[in-house]
Every structure is written in structure tokens, then in C-alpha cells.
Amino acid sequence: MPTERERLFGNDLKLRDRFGGFDLISNASADLDLAEGNDNIIQALQLRLLVRQGELAPLGWSNYGSRIHELIGEPNIPRTHTRLMAYARTAIARDPRVAEIRDLSTQILPGERNTVRLQMEILLINQPNPLLMISDINLEAR
């Protein structure tokens, strides 16, 4: 029997970031694996950050995604970090399961001059404890 959290956050096909794209994952019985509950909400929010806003408009999802892709090639400086946080906040806040974004910060990873670590504390609906989500965003032009 699914828990309240699993029912609230649902399930979807589990994806793996691979070679600049996403790939489906199979489980032990050679069937497609599922992201359920907490894993699903994390995957869903990560995808909102990575999909370009407007990319899914032909499918009826014109507001899905973010503008983070506009920062590719920008210098890894505070001004870029401010824009990154604004774009991330807007994208994540659009998910109906998000009640509030409590904290949002960025940092430069040592030895990674083109990568920004984005850290968000997100309060989800009907949940007492916030979710900590960390995403590493590469600003390097590919």
C-alpha cells in the first residue's frame, strides 16, 4: 500500500542523466524502473530546471521548464548567480506540489570554474519538513 507521500508525489519512469541527455532505466526484472514518491518529486523538479522554457509548448506545456539555458556561456560571477537563482525560483514555484521555496543559494565548486552549485530548500505541500535539492549547473558552452 502506497504511503501518503508516495500518493501525493506519484510515480513516473525513472531517468538517468547520460551523455548530455536522459535515458530510461530498467529494473532487476528487465522492466522499466519507476521513480516513486520522494525520488519522483526530486526528478520532476530537476527536469523543470533542465528543460528549456517553451520547449514543450507544442505539447500544451508552454510554462514548463526554466530559462537557465540562457546562462550558458555567461561568466561564473555573482550577477550570473543572481539570474540563475531567479530562473530556478520561477521554474520550481510553478510546480503545483511546491508550497514555498524557503532558501536558495549558489556556490562555486573548488576546481570547477564553469560549474555553479544551486541549493534550494523547498517546502512541499502537506509536508512538515523541507526538501533539500542540490543541482550542479554547467555554464560552459558546448
pLDDT for res 20: 62
Residues of the chain with pLDDT > 90, as a percent, come to 51
Q: Cα 55 to chain center, whole Å?
A: 15
**pLDDT recorded at residue 14:** 57
Residue range of the domain that includes 104:
4-138
Q: What does residue 46 show for φ and ψ, rounded to 5 degrees?
A: -60, -45
Q: Which residues pair with 118 in a beta bridge?
A: 106, 135
| Closest to 64 (Cα-Cα) out of 85, 93, 35 | 93
What is this structure's pTM? 0.80
Whether residue 13 contacts residue 23, with contact meaning beta carbons closer than 8 Å, is answered with no
Q: What is the pLDDT of residues 55-96, one digit of tens each?
A: 889 999 888 999 999 999 999 999 999 999 999 999 999 999
For residue 23, pLDDT over 60 is answered with no
Q: Which phi and psi (to 5°) does residue 124 adopt? A: -95, 155
Our count of domains for the chain comes to 1
- What is the number of residues in the chain? 142
Highest mean pLDDT among 1-10, 25-34, 42-51: 42-51
- pLDDT-derived band at 5 (thresholds 50, 70, 90) equals low
CATH number at residue 88: 3.10.450.40
The CA-atom distances, in angstroms, between 132 and each of 38, 41, 119, 122 are 11, 12, 7, 6
